[in-house]
Structure 1
Amino acid sequence: MSASDSFPLGKPAFVGNILDRAAHLRTNEQKLLSLESDPRARAYVVSRDSLVVKREGEASRALLTINEALTFGANPGTVFLGLRDGAPVFGMGIAPQAAEKLIGREDVAVSELRGMAMQGTIPPEQLSAVAAAKSLVTWHQRHGFCANCGARTAMREGGWKRECPACKTEHFPRTDPVVIMMVAKGDKCLMGRQSRFMPGMYSCLAGFVEAAETIEDAVKREVFEEAGIRCADVAYYMTQPWPYPSSLMIGCTARALNEDIVIDRSELEDARWFDRDEARLMLTRQHPDGLAGPHPFAIAHHLLGRWLQEGDNATR
């Protein structure tokens, strides 16, 4: 199965949640404890940008039993992600020292999530739950103390908030909004590359939404700041959760008003216009110069694919 088969147009990674989040159970501590003891309970174990996976011959399994997770060294605290066909699913963290001890073992591995998602090692339908586990576990690891008074906080409501016992302030997981846009002018689209990209890869421009800013204004501002292009007719396409560490990619289209690119070198290594034929070759990895578009697991691929499929109507 190819990456395009795993992530068909309009369905990037980390979307299509198969879990019932069962939020009504989060405040029932006794019920959550009983769910952890349910023999059907499973957990995703997060180690920074990786997952602890069980090796089974040539395959790897990311969804572990609670006993497997604890045996491999996962922290006992769990985040309740929801129910799948009535079976509880949790997220768990693991300390760096414990994760390092797993390196070299034949029965378990610590594998980078992005690579597993791109290669289809994790079934696409599980990736939304994995994203939730990674986002929440990472948030708990980074927010152990109250931002109001400095006291150590405690996990509450199945891991969906932290509470300060000293000043009673409640802290909730954050999601950072990011706009990512397919900017086009006639039969040309604008793409850029950052130095961290794989050689020859170009993608849609993107940037964080700032305080008190609309999505439309964020699109216009980011494109102008990074490439000197002014935009109009901003339209929403779709969103993609992006657990690095916890963003929501807001996919948009926009029509460029000028063509002269002025690159902000602190943001981009390069930016240029591509016609439809060239963009299509990049998306299918057939460009004669080795240029490539974004991978199908990323929303940028779907923005570009939609533009190629629908033509100018996609940016009107």
Structure 2
Amino acid sequence: MSSSDAFPLGHPAFVNHVLDRAAHLRTKDDRLMALESDSRTRAYVVFRDSLVVKRDGEATRALLTIDEALKFGANPGTIFLGLRDGAAVFGMGIAAAAAEKLIGRDDVAVSELRGMAMQGAIPPQELSAVAMAKSLVNWHQRHGFCANCGAKTAMREGGWKRECPSCKAEHFPRTDPVVIMLVTKGDKCLMGRQSRFPTGMYSCLAGFVEAAETIEDAVRREVFEEAGIRCTDVAYYMTQPWPYPSSLMIGCTARALNDDIVVDRIELEDARWFDRDEARLMLTRKHPDGLAGPHPFAIAHHLLGRWVHVGESGDR
């Protein structure tokens, strides 16, 4: 399966949610314990930005039985993600020492999530649940102590809350909003690149929404700060959960009011205008200079592809 087949236009990774979150079960500890013992129950085991996967020759499987997960060294504390066809799906973490013991084995691997998703090693319909598991496991690993009084907190409600036994403060997983936007002016679009990008790759500009800021203001501010471009007519396209570590990418379009780019070299290595034909070649990896657009895995590809193929954004 090609990446274009796995992530057709309008369907980036992490958006096809197939689980029933079944939030009513999160407070039912006895029921959750029973589900953990059910032979149909499965789990995703997260280690930093990677997953523990079962190997069978060239094939890999990310959805493990609870017995497999525990045998590989996963932590016993589980996060209830929801139900799929009536069967429970959990998220589990694994300590670094346990993960290191898996290296070199033939039956299991610790594989980087982004690479597996981009290569189609994980079915696209599973990626939303994987993103949920990764975000929640990482949140619990970073928030073991109360931000209010410093006491050690405990997992509650199937992993969707931490509670402080000392001051009774409740702590909930957070999602960080990020605007990502395709800015156009007539028949050209603005893209930039960071030094960490693969050689020749350009993508949409993006940045975190700040406190007490609207999405529209965040788009305008980030574009001006990073590229010196004033823009207007900000419009919403779609969102994409992004578990790095736990963001929500808010895809937008905007129309530029000026042409002259002033690059913020702290944020970007380069930024430039591309016409529609050039952007099309970048998406298909056929640009004569070896330039490339974002992978179909990411919402940026779909913002750009929508403009290239449908011409909906910026043609106002």
| Equivalent residue number for residue 25 of structure 1 | 25
CA distance in 2, matches of 1:40, 1:33: 13
The equivalences for 1:153-192 within 5 A come to: 153-192=153-192
Deviations 1:174-231 (A, max 9, x none): 0000000000000000000000000000000000000000000000000000000000
Aligned-CA RMSD value: 0.7
Q: 1:306 to 1:200 in 2, by over 3 A?
A: same
For 1:113 and 1:52, locate their aligned partners in 2 and report how far apart those are by CA, in whole Å: 10
2: CA distance, partners of 1:231 / 1:36: 52
- What is the match of residue 86 of structure 1? 86
1:302 partner SS:
helix
Deviations 1:44-65 (A, max 9, x none): 0000000000001110000000
1:131-150 matches, within 5 Å, as: 131-150=131-150
Provide the residue aligned with 2:230 in structure 1.
Answer: 230
Q: Which residue of 1 aligns with 2:202?
A: 202
- Equivalent in the alignment of 2:70: 70
Report what 2:35 is aligned to. Answer: 35
| 1:262-314 C-alpha deviation (Å, 9 max, x unpaired) | 00000000000000110000000000110000000000000000011222555
- Please show how residues 109-120 of structure 1 align to structure 2 within 5 Å: 109-120=109-120
CA deviation string 1:90-132 (max 9, x = no partner): 0000001110110000000000000000000000000000000
Between the aligned partners of 1:97 and 1:233, the Cα distance in structure 2 is 51
Distance 1:64 1:313, change over 3 A: closer
Contact 1:253 1:315 in 2 (8 A): no
- Give the equivalent residue in structure 2 for 1:309: 309
| Alignment partners' CA distance in 2, 1:4 and 1:119 | 11
CA distance in 1, matches of 2:196, 2:123: 27
Is the 2:184–2:256 Cα contact (8 Å) retained in structure 1? yes
Uncovered stretches (5+) of structure 1, i.e. residues with no partner: none
Q: C-alpha separation between the residues in 2 aligned to 1:87 and 1:79?
A: 14
Contact 1:251 / 1:303 at 8 angstroms: preserved in 2?
yes
Contact 2:186–2:315 (8 Å) recurs in 1: no
Aligned to 2:276: 276
Q: TM-score, normalised by structure 1?
A: 0.99
Q: Is the Cα–Cα contact under 8 Å of residues 41 and 87 in structure 2 kept in the other structure?
A: yes
Asked if 1 retains the 8 angstrom alpha-carbon contact of 2:185 and 2:314, the reply is no
Q: Distance in 2 between matches of 1:295 and 1:311?
A: 19
Alpha-carbon distance change, 315 to 18 in structure 1, aligned in 2, over 3 angstroms? farther
Q: Distance in 2 between matches of 1:253 and 1:313?
A: 6
CA deviation digits over 1:67-112, x for unaligned, max 9? Answer: 0000000000000000000000000000011101100000000000
Which 4+ stretches in 1 moved above 2 angstroms?
312-316
Partner amino acid, structure 1, of 2:97: Q
Write the distance in 2 (CA, Å) between the matches of 1:178 and 1:89: 28
Q: Which runs of 5+ in 2 are unaligned?
A: none
TM-score by length of structure 2 reads: 0.99
**C-alpha distance in 2 between matches for 1:314 and 1:134:** 35
Structure 1 contact 294–301 (Cα < 8 Å) conserved: yes
- The within-5 A match list for 1:221-260 is 221-260=221-260
Secondary structure of the residue aligned to 2:136 is helix
SS in 2 for 1:301: helix
The answer (yes or no) to whether the contact 2:184–2:313 under 8 Å persists in 1 is: no
Name the amino acid aligned to 1:141. Q
| Paired position in structure 1 for 2:299 | 299
Residues 306 and 313 of structure 2 are in contact (CA less than 8 Å); yes or no, is this contact kept in structure 1? no
Secondary structure in structure 1 of the residue aligned to 2:254: strand
